[in-house]
Chains A and B, each alone.
Chain A
Amino acid sequence: MAHTEWRDAPELPDFSLLKRLARDQLIFLLEQLPGKKDLFIDSDLMSPLDRIANVTILKQHEVDKLYKVELKPIVSSSDQLCFLIRPRIQTVKWISDLVNADKVAGRFRRYKIIFTPQKFYACETVLEEQGVYGDVTTDEWNFYILPLDDDILSLELPEFFRDNFLEGDQRWVTTAGSALHLLQSVYGSFSKVYGIGRCAKMVYESWRELMEEGEQRTRQPEFAKVFLVDRDVDFVTPLCSQVVYEGLVDDLFRIKCGSVEFGPDVTSSDKSIKVMLNSQDKVFSEIRNEHFSNVFGFLSQKAKNLQTAYDKRRGMDIQQMKAFVSDELKGLKQEHRLLSLHIGASESMMKKKTKQDFQELLKTEHSLLEGFEIRECITYIEEHINRQVSMIDSLRLLCLLSITENGLLSKDYRSLKAQYLQSYGIKHLLTFANLRQLGLLEEQQAGETLTVMESKVGKLVNDKTVGKLTDAFSSLAKKSNFRALSKRLALVPKSGEEYDLRVPRDMAYVFSGAYIPLSCKLIEQVLERDGWTGLEEVTRMLNGQEFAVTGGSSSSEARNKTDAQRIVLVMFLGGCTFSEISALRFLGKERGCRFIVVTTAITNSARLLEALLDNHA
């Protein structure tokens, strides 16, 4: 059951080194401003910072008080203010206002801004335009990567998605390139790099430039291959409801920076408990990748085992009891605590998720993926909107419908949109504009269904011309081509077959056997073929932009057998979901390799769509 125990799994590199590096640099930066100081931290940096340096460490380096950046006037009596922020124009403007207010009040303080992971020119421009450039000192904390778990590295940049894919702002591209460069300089170079997507290509370019500028290091690589993938290559997967345990916990309770807060309904007491969710948690690590229908049974079996372990003490003599208390009891207690929490969580999950509503929701999703009974699905979505069931879920279903159907018919598009606006207000006109821009929710252009055109043309001319024509068409309208992709890559298993979720046979298990995540399938195919050959049609439908490069360490052929050759680094640009991670873990187990996931942030359907609402701009 547990994925961690498979035979012959390659060792993963030790990523705690990255934390140490980040901590040392932060301490160095804090010491650059000697004396007592107040520290203001961007709210979304709080949790990541906590993983790197806790309050005690900060206090040791003369941080007096800690504040959260709230973009409001501040109350601080300190003469030195230090700001630890993401490079955002808004925050910098707020700081400039503070400085100017102090100036008016005739108050003298020292200000230091530490940008992480890097400084942007635009931020400095703001300082300059506000006339405080000379009053503040700025620095960079190159904290690019936070290891969330043994095999998950996060850039903790949720805004990457919106900035890059919606706003067309490519400033984070270099950040992603630098993160890869950091991994390379700490853990050695890669033998092969694959990627798909415009952003992936740019990230690779930026990384390559860093490689060329820096010194060449020849050391044993700790990863064999790197795969870069843009989130907009596959929007379907993150829009589906998650049903593996970890994904479900994320959907329901929102995992934040590797930890989750379980509310009173889970803890069965009157307070909330924060729990770290990673491979250190023995109970969690055994169930995280399981379909939730298996989890409850597993947990109760576990509880029984635990009881047996406790029961051992009956009939023990004093000596044995002493040994039991000192050796086992602590471990058992710990396990007991975690077990009860996870049982609580899965109970609350079952309560919510086995209800009729959820079953119907899943059924609709599966129908959409299969392209089956679309009319019924639309009726279902309509009802969902009309009853105001959930703002985000309705939107999610609409998007899923549009992507799988290559856009909505004009009539449906208008009526669904009008109904949605009636339910949730006209401000969502902006949301719809955003969704359309990203190709998530579109209106079909009357009378032209590309796939039909294409197949017609295909009969007349040879393949190559079809390719060109399709390119021309797809540049006209960004089409998702989901149906065709699904067919070609066999993403949706034949319906009607029984799928035993206890013994998964492919990656589809992460969606109850109904769908293999497109992103993961692509990775599987490319690794299998060692490149994109044979996938030409697929990449054409994904708007091309694929690449495969052989890296610097050419001698790697010789030591093909080392562990490192079986470790694959997958970087998701724009976020990845826990379901995808579970699917990759499964794939790794099947293929005798291991995947390390680097992502700009952990995402799920709610986060993805919330990023596209327009209330925060």
Chain B
Amino acid sequence: ICFVCANYLHAYIINIELYEMGWNLKDGLRDCLVAAAPYGGPIALLKAHNRRSPSARPQLEIFSSSGLPLASFPWKSGVVKQLGWTVSDDLLCVQEDGTLLVYDLLGGFKRHFSMGNEVSQSQVLETKIFHSPYGTGVAILTGALRFTLATNIDDIKLRRLPEVPGLQGAPSCWAVLTQDRQSKVLVANGSHLFVLDNTACTPVTPPGLSPQASSIVHMCVSFSYKYLALLTDSGHVWMGTSNLKEKLSEVDTKIKAPTKQMAWCRRPKSQQPSAVVMWDGLLLVVGECKETIQYHLDDDSILVPELDGVRIISGTHHELLQEVPGACEEIFKIASMAPGALLLEAHKEYEKESQKADEYLREIKEQSLLSEAVRQCVEAAGHEHEPETQKTLLRAASFGKCFLSNFPPEQFVGMCRDLRVLNAVRDYTVGIPLSHTQFKQMTIQVLIDRLVYRKLYPLAIEVCRYLKTPEYQGVSRVLKHWACYKVQQKEESDEVIAKAVSVKLADAAGISYSEIATKAYESGRTELAIKLLEFEPRSGEQVPLLLKMKKSPLALSKAIESGDTDLVYTVVMYLKNELNRGDFFMMLRNQPVALSLYKQFCKHQEQDTLKDLFNQDDDHEELGNFYVKASYKEQRLEARIGHLQSAVDEYYKAKNEFSAKTTEDEMRLLRFQRKLEEEKGEQLVGFSLHDTMTTLLSVGLHKHAEQLYKDFRVPDKRFWWLRLKALAEKEDWEELEKFSKSKKSPIGYLPFVEVCIKHHNKYEARKYVSKVTLEQKVKAHLAVGDVEGAAEAAIERRNESEIGTVLSRCSATTDHLLVERLNRAKATVAKK
């Protein structure tokens, strides 16, 4: 029998000594309130917690799993009923009055909160702290025998569970279950069992519970919430699924003394249920068969349930009790012929340089189980706590691998890495006794967090680098925590800290300097915070903190730099409420981006502010525009003119005479329109000058149109066009002719031709063709459909493109001679 096998004598259960405790407790764990966090977490001790005299303050102490002190301080608050740890290694202290206090694992106070009025009035009777996928929860049984429950202490939502019927005093025992995404409470009142959920209290019966029991005195739920164990007053342990649908086994312990603690001891996927029950001085492992395994305990101990076993902590020792892992059993069972065992043997012989190595190897290979053997050895190595044993197994695996081609290396390499990390954190000085199974469940990120909580920064970074964790989840994160811790060190100067931080973090990816700066600010070091923010590459991240620190101008310019308008708005709105109007405007003035954003906002929300803004800037041009715009919103003419007058004043101030004059003209026009509206009943107000004249001409108010033409310096051309159009529309051809002769047309006579054609009057159109200038003659002739005339004109002008135009208008019906003439003329022109 080899040396490793000694521990495996007890069939299925192995007891591994993790540490000899480093603490020096006078009375061991007696009379102490103890809480040990799962996954090899810290241990909290509160001595003499029940003493109520104000003079005697109990000492709260925190230790690592190996018993090294992490923190110690006198307890100054109320009476503590229960201690517990959160998933993020914070200590939870539940006081009698329903207040919960949260400390970090180095004893720093973090926060406190209450479990509600009802709890504080009727006081806390019992408490259970539990972990679920939603975080750390608390369940409280109050003096009024009611349960209050919160599933996640980081997002407190209190639930008061329904009443348990017939409950006279404290229930004999109870536990919290997490089922169907809900936390429920299982309560035993004598032999009656109830499940409490949000809405109802349901009586339940465990199938096959032996009838001699008159009361359930203890219960425990497995780590995964899948299994439940009940201990009755008759000494029977019932084990089954937690939904109470199935019984796995029932064992009679034959002990009726009061139990101290009970816990499941089971590894994931294991077929055998086994629970550990602890009495004074005695530990009993019960399983499927009737037989039990007993351990003697010298000292007061506590049980800490784990994912794959139970840790037993006493005043002097720290042990892990667990079911023997499959791979280890295969290998280390006496006279085992499992491939792993043979490979281990082969390697041992090989080391001795004996030819037996070959025999063993051959035996494995004959069954073609070599890869299975390697796998077993690797897996077993993972479960071993002794580095020497790990090495032996891994060497054997490596040896076996030599005879295999195509064996994927990942498993072996991964295991070597994992073990190196595990051995490092299991070290006495670190004191995190994780098993490989726990480590895999917990993930490397969480392990790094835990190291960070313990301020073991160098180790955490080593681990990250060694496992090649992506930088932003690994090294960078650790460095950030380190920096957050560093900035709280009061004894060093701002410069020194800022420099140290920037040097260390310089080339790390994904560092959020703003988070570090926030920490600095929170610990009262504004100057340091500003210095640190300078390192933040994303300006958007700097803004919220700068605002908090009342560095608004800086915040504003950083927000603008970020290009994120939402951020700019945030700052602008903050400033609007924070500063007086004058200062606010002054600040906007220097930041055009923010100013234009705010203007956009004002356009819809606060018109008057917009005016104030322009005023402040002496922007008379914009003010003028503002009033013009405002005038259009007014229905009443007087108000409208009033606005326009203000606009005129502003335009003059802006030295924009053009706009001022135009606006004055508009005011004149409005008054004119109004007067005429009243006199003649024509709707005119609001029309443009052109439209007004068109209307006047069309209703025959020529004089008034004429007046406008003079008063408003309307160009002759426009007036002629207007007259022309109006007359043609009325088909007043006589008047049109008169008009054409009134003086020389400033727009030429082609428009006369065209307007007649538009109104289908060829006859009238012809009258004007002769008056058209030479350049436009061709067009005019074509407009009235006189191709010959056009041809004459074009040929006379010797213009190639015009001849072309005429030609394109010639059809089959036109005179051949004409076409020929045109072609000839074209050719002549082209020659030149």
Contact = CB atoms under 8 A, between A and B. Distances in A.
B620 to A, nearest CB: 12
Contacts of A205: 563
Given A382-B717, A429-B663, A430-B629, A125 B688 contact: no
Interface stretch (A40-48, A60-68, A170-178, A301-309): A170-178
B404 interface: no
Contact of B597 (A90, A93, A126, A169): A169
Given A426-B663, A429-B659, A430-B625, A169 B603 contact: no
Given A423-B688, A433-B621, A170 B605 contact: no
A429 B718 contact: no
Interface stretch (A99-107, A383-391, A555-563): A383-391
A169 B596 CA distance: 6
B600 interface: yes
Contact of B718 (A169, A174, A422, A426): A422
A89 interface: yes
Max chain B C-beta neighbours (<10 A), residue from A206, A426, A433: A426
A446 interface: no
A70 interface: no
Contact of B593 (A168, A174, A382): A168
A388 B592 contact: no
Interface string A166-197: 01111101100000000000000000000000
Contacts of A414: 658
Interface string B798-832: 00000000000000000000000000000000000
A425 B688 contact: yes
A408 to B, nearest CB: 13
Contact of B569 (A120, A209, A383): A120
A121 B570 contact: yes
Contacts of B604: 89-90, 93
A426 B690 contact: no
A-B pairs with the 5 shortest C-beta distances?
A168-B596, A425-B688, A171-B565, A121-B566, A89-B604
B662 interface: yes
A218 interface: no
Contacts of A617: 603, 629
A279 to B, nearest CB: 36
A142 to B, nearest CB: 15
Interface in A138-183: 163, 167-171, 173-174
A133 interface: no
Contact of A422 (B565, B625, B658, B714): B714
A501 interface: no
A534 to B, nearest CB: 30
B658 A125 contact: no
Max chain B C-beta neighbours (<10 A), residue from A170, A382, A386, A422: A422
A419 B601 contact: no
Contacts of B629: 430, 614, 617
B407 interface: no
Contacts of B688: 421-426
B573 A427 contact: no
A96 to B, nearest CB: 11
Given A614-B629, A617-B603, A120 B718 contact: no
Max chain B C-beta neighbours (<10 A), residue from A423, A425, A433: A425
B625 A429 contact: yes
13 contacts: A121-B567, A121-B573, A129-B605, A167-B596, A168-B593, A169-B565, A169-B596, A174-B564, A205-B563, A356-B779, A387-B725, A423-B688, A423-B718
Interface in B557-603: 563-567, 569-570, 573, 592-593, 596-597, 599-601, 603
A163 B688 CA distance: 29
B658 A417 contact: yes
Interface in A361-413: 382-383, 386-388
B565 A173 contact: yes
A421 B662 contact: yes
Assign chain A's interface to a size class: 35 or more
B666 interface: yes
Given A421-B662, A422-B688, A429-B628, A386 B715 contact: yes
Given A170-B593, A209-B538, A426-B688, 14 more contacts: A89-B604, A93-B604, A93-B605, A122-B566, A122-B569, A168-B597, A170-B563, A383-B717, A422-B690, A423-B688, A423-B689, A427-B628, A427-B632, A433-B625
Interface residues of B, number: 46
A615 B631 CA distance: 12
A227 to B, nearest CB: 20
Nearest to A177: B563
Contacts of A419: 715, 718
Interface string A199-212: 00010011001000
A490 interface: no
A21 interface: no
Contacts of B632: 427, 615
Given A387-B721, A422-B689, A614-B629, A170 B565 contact: yes
A65 to B, nearest CB: 28
B712 interface: yes
Contact of B690 (A126, A202, A424): A424
Interface in B11-69: none
A186 to B, nearest CB: 23
Contacts of A167: 596, 599-600
A93 B686 CA distance: 30
A387 B714 CA distance: 13
Contacts of B570: 121
A89 B621 CA distance: 26
A126 B628 CA distance: 27
Interface in A402-458: 414, 417-419, 421-427, 429-430, 433
A39 B408 CA distance: 58
B736 to A, nearest CB: 17
A417 B629 CA distance: 18
A121 B779 CA distance: 62
A383 to B, nearest CB: 7
Given A167-B600, A169-B596, A386-B718, A126 B605 contact: yes
A222 to B, nearest CB: 26
Contacts of A170: 563, 565, 593, 597
Contacts of B628: 426-427, 429-430
A256 to B, nearest CB: 26
A93 B603 CA distance: 12
B563 A202 contact: yes
B565 to A, nearest CB: 4
A443 B629 CA distance: 23
Given A427-B628, A433-B625, A168 B592 contact: yes
Contacts of A129: 605
A326 B747 CA distance: 65
A426 B662 contact: yes
B601 A89 contact: yes
B639 to A, nearest CB: 16
Nearest to A426: B666
A363 to B, nearest CB: 12
Nearest to A173: B563
B647 to A, nearest CB: 9
Nearest to A386: B718
A163 B604 CA distance: 14
A418 B714 CA distance: 10
B563 A206 contact: yes
Interface in B595-649: 596-597, 599-601, 603-605, 621, 625, 628-629, 632
Max chain B C-beta neighbours (<10 A), residue from A356, A417, A421, A430: A421
Contacts of A429: 625, 628, 659, 662-663
A548 to B, nearest CB: 20
Contact of A171 (B540, B566, B603, B662): B566
A497 to B, nearest CB: 16
A169 B600 contact: yes
A169 to B, nearest CB: 5
B589 to A, nearest CB: 14
